[in-house]
Structure 1
Amino acid sequence: MFPTPKSALTPNTYDYESSPLVKPTGFREYDARWLLEKELNLMGAQALGMGLGTMIREMGIKAEIVTGHDFRSYSASVKMALISGLMAAGCKVYDIGLAITPMAYFAQFELDVPCVAMVTASHNDNGWTGVKMGANRPLTFGPTEMTRLKEIVLGAQFNLSGGGSYEFVENFPERYIADLTKRPKIKRKLKVVAACGNGTAGAFAPRILEAVGCEVVPLDCNLDHTFPRYNPNTEDMQMLHAMRDAVLMHKADVALGFDGDGDRCGVVDNEGEEIFADKVGVMLARDMSALHKNSTFVVDVKSTGLFLTDPVLKVNGVKVDYWKTGHSYIKRRVNELGAVAGFEKSGHFFFNKPFGRGYDDGMIFGLAVCDMLDRNPDKSMADLRKALPKTWGSPTMSPHCDDEKKYGVVDAVVKHFQDAKAKGDQVAGQPIRELVTVNGVRVTVEDGTWGLVRASSNKPELVVVVESPASEQRMRDMFKAIDGVLRTHPEVGEYNQTI
């Protein structure tokens, strides 16, 4: 009988090597993330595989699953431990090897396999590991599935029927690349910086862009799991500034930056301006809705208010649905509404038919940007940016807050603003016009300036974003107001970056 997982163990001890370590907080809202060795050991990863296999059978789904892993020094070991657990629970495992996350999602369709378990820490710092899981393509697990998986694993409620098997799928990346590039070449001569932060996408992004006709300038595309320059995170200003420098040096048309597991993309224009992904989403919504009138788009609550106010989107009859931040939430909502696409400020973009299969893929995002430029041959990326109504927005800012405390803090912040609205109090010098509480709280005041506070779903942090259509000062006023409320909670620590 497999032992019950423990929530804490000391490394380099007998207990650590003979008991599964699985810290409960690693089960997030829509995937799993742990600090390897401190919060999860390899026996813990094995227990996770047993739990996932048990749950798949409990759901009545065919026990076949795709696995892959990102380019971190320990990811292959974590994956093999996970696979041993899946096989013990009777699953047939199709291993596609080293991969980006959308490659694993594609494999569900290409191999006709219902389930997926991709071992990746995504954009988290080295030391983190995790698993993105799903059992109903193109969807991935949400809170209901993650809660049940947590119960099974932590309670050792395993159904170890045996009978599992393993198959390594050779040369699978070639099938993924062929699928993305079996399309007309781009007519416009585009010079594109492909920035990968030494992450997994570096093995694939330049090849894909070259195959569709782009001249590619590779930036940090050699795979190096120490991430020697910066973490491959497309919301990290350090990565965006490196992209800016490369664009200006090489006189490129655009820079496309891909995160550690290739399911997100960031953009810098030909003038070296970082364009936050939500603004790129407005540009793409303009472009796509010109082809498909009266389209629906899903966007997360961190995203710009331009989706509701942009005059071009209004003329094209666009309908917009603001929804919870998180790749699983947006993916599910796009599927439910039959939306053309879903956009997250973090750079997760979800394209439905005819553009994609409904899952998030940074490579498809990058190709969509190239296609947009191809359809606007007389305009640069900077021209398209400048054509948007002006707003002043912050990057995503994340103050530290322990996993065990962050949701309580957010609940208190939500109540603070609900009480303020009920009493008619002002925020940043103006009355509250609207509160959106579908995911934390988004406070919008009279002149359209807004601020968001929510709990990060994958790290011990809060998430803060502010934007104003009025002025940079109004954006800063809102940040001061939001931060002032957070500073009343001693559990909230320092920011990773601020305006």
Structure 2
Amino acid sequence: MSDPEKIFKAYDIRGVVPDDLDADLVRAIGEAYVEVLDRPAAVVVGRDMRVASPELAEAFAAGVTSRGCDVVDIGLASTDELYFASGHLDLPGAMFTASHNPPDYGGIKLCRAGAAPVGQETGLARLRSLVEQGRQGHQGADRDVVPAGKVERRDLLSAYAGHLRGLVDLSGIRRLTVAVDAGNGMAGLTVPAVFEGLPIDLVPMYFELDGTFPNHEANPIEPANLVDLQAKVREVGADIGLAFDGDADRCWVIDENARSVSPSAITALIAVRELAREPGAAVIHNLITSRAVPQIIHEHGGRPVRERVGHSFIKATMARTGAVFGGEHSAHFYFRDFWRADSGLLAALHTLAALGEQDQPLSKLLEEYDRYAASGEINSRVDDQAATMARVKAAYADRVGVTVDELDGLTVEHADWWFNLRPSNTEPVLRLNAEAADQATMERLRDEVLGLVRGTVNA
């Protein structure tokens, strides 16, 4: 029997189908979500191309309608298209996707009306409690009987594409050759719709929707999944390469030399564009983005605001500060004018606009935004996360010129370097990100911290 305890994560619902997540459990989630939302008029539902997604989305809709609530079914969609539907229709939403996870996974990303995030503190904890109560027979028999809601099917792809094109003007850019690796994910549906009519020569890769991911995992944060795109950029002489994850809410950039571009550099690039449009605005960055990001925001008259990792934290801080934009090291990019939601394609359009508005290649354009040497994220399996973190903290706490904070994991800063060490929420892993003024210093720092984490260096 599927188990709610295993599938409710910090920001979404995710698990192996059908072992952890099956149609019966998803129907119960749909019923309970109506109660969490205080019975809205309707819930908008979208799904990705995974084999199990149609069955799970249908079960959720059945649960929602059984409680007298209507469903607006937008069918196959990217996660940011679901956010568009939620904002455009002012309805709560449910997106059926497991993002970049392997083919046997399924999941649900939930939002309130206007694409407002749903995390543990904003609905997921209560949703899990209601589902568990229902499965234990503590509710249901005495619930009021209500007329069933109805399901309305709507195609919002063209409206979504038009909305994105209306947020970034590419009409005057030079013609660009753009190689795109959709990873057999939802970008295969959304990219052609959004790029239609733009001065772009599209070189598509793996645009066939296939939830078995026959070519590679749809997870561009892993370098192995970028190799095919890098080869294509070289082969066709593309101006830029774009790689999307399975539900297309993340976008990774490859330059004309087939080199991977740091999401921090893209965060800084888009921040500069948004600050030119709205001088003095706040821009959010998580604490793992490059030190260059807040520096560049300051240099362009903006107000950098540091936040912990995670979309619910970023979106809440954007709402509190009125920030125009936010970026994360994981290639999630958030836009105030897109209901503060993240959109890989909107970030791609900003990058294409910046590239096409001038004559330099992308590598030259990004030089000013890429100032430091970074390790990337390195994972280490540990038996005791807390004890390991304490050992690392003790090793650095008394060093001259070093500051330590614990906003999100352990961040240790020096004038010439910094690192962050964070525990995973779902597995016995610590994640290290390190940055320094030069490559040699970064490598020494990286190896020293990894030695402490993995027990090969004494504190």
Does residue 364 in structure 1 map to residue 346 in structure 2?
yes
Provide the rounded CA distance (Å) in 2 between the counterparts of 1:456 and 1:69.
27
Counterpart in the other structure of 1:250? 236
Deviation digits for residues 89-110 of structure 1 (CA, Å, limit 9, x no counterpart): 3322111111111111111122
User: TM-score scaled by structure 1?
Assistant: 0.84
Provide the rounded CA distance (Å) in 1 between the counterparts of 2:139 and 2:158.
36
SS in 2 for 1:62: coil
Q: Letter of the aligned partner of 2:310 in structure 1?
A: G
For 1:61-100, what aligned pairs fall within 5 Å after superposition? Answer: 62-100=40-78
Contact 1:193–1:217 (CA under 8 A) maintained in structure 2: yes
Provide the rounded CA distance (Å) in 1 between the counterparts of 2:439 and 2:372.
8
SS in 2 for 1:181: helix
1:416 to 364, 369, 391: 391
Counterpart in the other structure of 1:332? 316
1:51 to 28, 32, 36: 32
Change in CA separation of 1:463 and 1:165 when aligned onto 2, cut-off 3 Å: farther
Contact 1:22–1:41 (CA under 8 A) maintained in structure 2: no
1:480 to 428, 447, 458: 447
Does residue 285 in structure 1 map to residue 271 in structure 2?
yes
Listed as ranges, the gaps of 5+ residues in structure 2 are none
Counterpart in the other structure of 2:423? 455
Q: CA deviation at 1:257?
A: 1.2
Alignment coverage as a number of residue pairs: 447
Listed as ranges, the gaps of 5+ residues in structure 1 are 1-8, 10-20, 490-499
1:298 to 273, 284, 303: 284
Counterpart in the other structure of 1:35? 16
Q: Letter of the aligned partner of 1:213 in structure 2?
A: P
Counterpart in the other structure of 1:17? none
Structure 1 window deviating more from structure 2 (412-421 vs 174-183): it is 412-421
SS in 2 for 1:125: coil
SS in 2 for 1:260: coil
Provide the rounded CA distance (Å) in 2 between the counterparts of 1:437 and 1:37.
38
Q: CA deviation at 1:45?
A: 1.3
Q: CA deviation at 1:46?
A: 1.5
Q: Letter of the aligned partner of 2:47 in structure 1?
A: H
For 1:82-481, what aligned pairs fall within 5 Å after superposition? Answer: 82-113=60-91, 115-144=92-121, 145-156=123-134, 158=139, 160-161=143-144, 162-182=146-166, 185-310=171-296, 313-353=297-337, 356-375=338-357, 377-400=358-381, 409-422=384-397, 424=398, 426=399, 431=400, 433-447=402-416, 449-457=417-425, 459-460=426-427, 462=429, 464-481=431-448
CA RMSD of aligned residues (A): 2.3
Q: CA deviation at 1:346?
A: 1.0
User: TM-score scaled by structure 2?
Assistant: 0.90
Change in CA separation of 1:136 and 1:333 when aligned onto 2, cut-off 3 Å: farther
Q: CA deviation at 1:314?
A: 2.9
SS in 2 for 1:294: coil
Q: CA deviation at 1:64?
A: 1.9
Q: Letter of the aligned partner of 1:381 in structure 2?
A: L
Provide the rounded CA distance (Å) in 2 between the counterparts of 1:286 and 1:109.
25
Deviation digits for residues 99-143 of structure 1 (CA, Å, limit 9, x no counterpart): 111111111122232x11111101112111111111242321122
Contact 1:51–1:158 (CA under 8 A) maintained in structure 2: no
Provide the rounded CA distance (Å) in 1 between the counterparts of 2:64 and 2:440.
54
Change in CA separation of 1:390 and 1:466 when aligned onto 2, cut-off 3 Å: same
Q: Letter of the aligned partner of 1:453 in structure 2?
A: L
